[in-house]
Chain A
């Protein structure tokens, strides 16, 4: 459902996970960019290949730092009001819900599975797993697996002649 237009937007709370991730990622990108050899084109007017990513890495790290400072200020303000810390890191909030995690992990596992088993068996397994994980009955899950694999095979392999992965085991699909 869309939110009620008259209701105020949800608060844009600073996030420890976001701040930490941005600082870590930005600092790492800046560090790696600084190690790119300085090879300007022609004279030294060209800032070279490392300047742009270095600048972007520092910008991301600064953005993360700002998020962490905002978080600290919000914690101090809450403490000054005598309220319990509303920003205590909650380990459960760091991880997505179980169903989301299952779908995401299934997609991750699908990559090595497709390389090993090939397209048809790995896709059937993925669809069965996802459908069952999302609460479907076996009838729906099996029906969907067969239909989806057939449609994709027809569309990509037969019609567009895309070589779908056959897998390391060399099964004939």
Chain B
């Protein structure tokens, strides 16, 4: 742990957190984009632990920072903060913006802390169980991760599955690792090693986000956020003590929701808010500036960031788009996610846990610093922010391999992302497809070779059977739930709106 407290680790970590706070607090820019933009910068550091620290720090900080404009302007900085807008903004209208911000910050720190502790305890236990998995189980695990992400990413499940298929198809470009045959390379040497994951991701979450923002036609000269400085940390801490049960409940819900592949911090925040409303003695107060309406989603969304690391580390299945990017990034450092990671790369895993813990503690001072100092920066007009994102996207895509071809890939991915989202096809399953495609194909083919071409072991092995049934449930479950909800005439309180 003391190694992690060295300036060469803490320096990049704090800088990355401040960057994450800025991006997360800017409406229209997501936490995923913050991570996507920090990855090329982190690769330039000589120390892999410092690089990991930057990626971890930026993800937690950006998710929290989305609450800042959510509270001030009822515009969530990131989708994860949509639930915070309800009571957070109501508190701001009552002149309690500083208190709401402070509550959100403390809840995010403590929620993240609970999430990291659960991750530290649960992940190694789960890894011992995962050692029983073979190619057959990993094939279904990959498919299950993709289908879950398609089912919960918003909109139609079929469209989510189409996005996942598109991602998997992109992952087949390049030399086939099993047979050495080139696929879809069109004689281009740049395509032999496949479509670069990082340029695609920067395009999908950086450039396409800018294109969508511009397409909305909102004023680009207006500043993003109106700041407010009335913050009393002690008062907020005492309030949080009163709502400790809410925080604990939200953190646990957030961690386990985040651990579901595809269900990110946004769903975790809405789930925690919904549970809080259902379990409250006076649910009518929520939505009208109740402190619990800030504590629950803020605690849950940062706990979900930690929870998403559980399937990512144990199975190599990203819990959300942020961990999808993280998996792509850690592969560069020869850190191969899977059950053996806890034995083969124990030191790096401990470093990840340690950095995640330190990040929660640093979030408090960094968050307060952000409240105080970002006021001026957040007054910057949106056109400046959007232009900076375009330039950073281009330079970020180029810097990885000094390749203009990668810049072209990034620009193409930006346009594809814009087209897909404007037709209500979610892009998150696409990025998961790109990551999980090789895993699914390799395990399918190796499994078939092992079983001498028989498909039966894919469905008859006990763990396969469970995973297969979970897959069916993930695809049919939402439809059944919708039918059940329609039948008796639902109460609006029981509906959990999507971010």
Q: When chains A and B are docked, how far (Å) is the Cα of A165 from the Cα of B399?
A: 10
Inter-chain contact B162/A22, CB cutoff 8 Å: yes
Inter-chain contact A136/B75, CB cutoff 8 Å: no
Inter-chain contact A1/B74, CB cutoff 8 Å: yes
What are 27 sample pairs from A and B whose C-beta atoms fall under 8 A apart? A1-B75, A2-B82, A9-B498, A17-B423, A18-B425, A33-B172, A41-B178, A43-B449, A47-B448, A49-B176, A52-B168, A53-B184, A63-B159, A96-B215, A97-B214, A104-B211, A110-B394, A110-B407, A111-B407, A114-B407, A126-B390, A126-B391, A136-B220, A148-B388, A160-B45, A162-B44, A164-B398
Would you give the 0/1 interface string for A33-57, flagging 1 where the beta carbon is closer than 8 Å to chain B?
1001101111111111110110011
Give the bracket for the number of chain A residues in contact with chain B.
35 or more
Instruction: List B contacts of A21 (CB < 8 A).
Output: 419
Min Cβ gap A45→B in Å is 4
Count, chain B residues at interface, CB 8 A? 77
Closest 6 CB pairs of A and B: A160-B44, A134-B383, A5-B497, A49-B176, A45-B453, A18-B423
State which of B226-234, B301-309, B410-418, B477-485 sits at the interface with chain A: B410-418
Q: Which of chain B's residues 159-209 have a Cβ closer than 8 Å to chain A?
A: 159, 161-162, 165-166, 168-169, 172, 176, 178-181, 183-184, 207
Q: When chains A and B are docked, how far (Å) is the Cα of A126 from the Cα of B383?
A: 13
Q: Which residue of A lies closest to B179 (CB)?
A: A39
Judge whether A83 is part of the interface by a CB distance below 8 angstroms.
no
Inter-chain contact A163/B395, CB cutoff 8 Å: no
Min Cβ gap A134→B in Å is 4
Judge whether B94 is part of the interface by a CB distance below 8 angstroms.
no
Instruction: List A contacts of B386 (CB < 8 A).
Output: 103, 130, 134
Instruction: List B contacts of A57 (CB < 8 A).
Output: 169
Instruction: List B contacts of A32 (CB < 8 A).
Output: 184
Would you give the 0/1 interface string for A138-149, flagging 1 where the beta carbon is closer than 8 Å to chain B?
001000100010
Judge whether A156 is part of the interface by a CB distance below 8 angstroms.
yes
Q: When chains A and B are docked, how far (Å) is the Cα of A21 from the Cα of B162?
A: 12
Q: Beyond the given A130-B386, A156-B395, please list 15 additional residue pairs across the A-B interface where CB-CB is below 8 A.
A: A1-B75, A2-B74, A12-B155, A29-B184, A32-B184, A43-B449, A49-B176, A52-B441, A103-B386, A104-B211, A134-B214, A135-B220, A136-B220, A140-B383, A160-B44
Min Cβ gap B427→A in Å is 14
Determine which of A104, A136, A165 lies in contact with B384 in the assembled complex, contact meaning CB atoms within 8 Å. Answer: A136
Inter-chain contact B179/A103, CB cutoff 8 Å: no
A45 touching B183 in the complex, CB below 8 Å, given contacts A131-B383, A152-B392: no
Inter-chain contact A107/B411, CB cutoff 8 Å: yes
Would you give the 0/1 interface string for A103-147, flagging 1 where the beta carbon is closer than 8 Å to chain B?
110111011001100000001001100110011100010001000
Inter-chain contact A104/B179, CB cutoff 8 Å: no
Determine which of B184, B214, B395, B449 lies in contact with A100 in the assembled complex, contact meaning CB atoms within 8 Å. Answer: B214
Min Cβ gap A1→B in Å is 6
Q: Which residue of A lies closest to B382 (CB)?
A: A134
Instruction: List A contacts of B408 (CB < 8 A).
Output: 111
Instruction: List B contacts of A159 (CB < 8 A).
Output: 44
Min Cβ gap A17→B in Å is 7
Q: Which residue of B lies closest to A129 (CB)?
A: B387
Q: Which residue of B lies closest to A114 (CB)?
A: B404
Inter-chain contact A46/B178, CB cutoff 8 Å: yes
Min Cβ gap B116→A in Å is 28
Instruction: List B contacts of A100 (CB < 8 A).
Output: 211, 214-215, 418
Q: When chains A and B are docked, how far (Å) is the Cα of A164 from the Cα of B219?
A: 33
Q: Which residue of A lies closest to B402 (CB)?
A: A163
Judge whether B381 is part of the interface by a CB distance below 8 angstroms.
yes
Q: When chains A and B are docked, how far (Å) is the Cα of A134 from the Cα of B441?
A: 44
Inter-chain contact B41/A160, CB cutoff 8 Å: yes
Judge whether A68 is part of the interface by a CB distance below 8 angstroms.
no
Inter-chain contact A2/B76, CB cutoff 8 Å: yes
A41 touching B217 in the complex, CB below 8 Å, given contacts A2-B82, A52-B444: no
Inter-chain contact A53/B172, CB cutoff 8 Å: yes
Q: Which of chain A's residues 86-103 have a Cβ closer than 8 Å to chain B?
A: 96-97, 99-100, 103
Determine which of B158, B382, B452, B492 lies in contact with A45 in the assembled complex, contact meaning CB atoms within 8 Å. Answer: B452
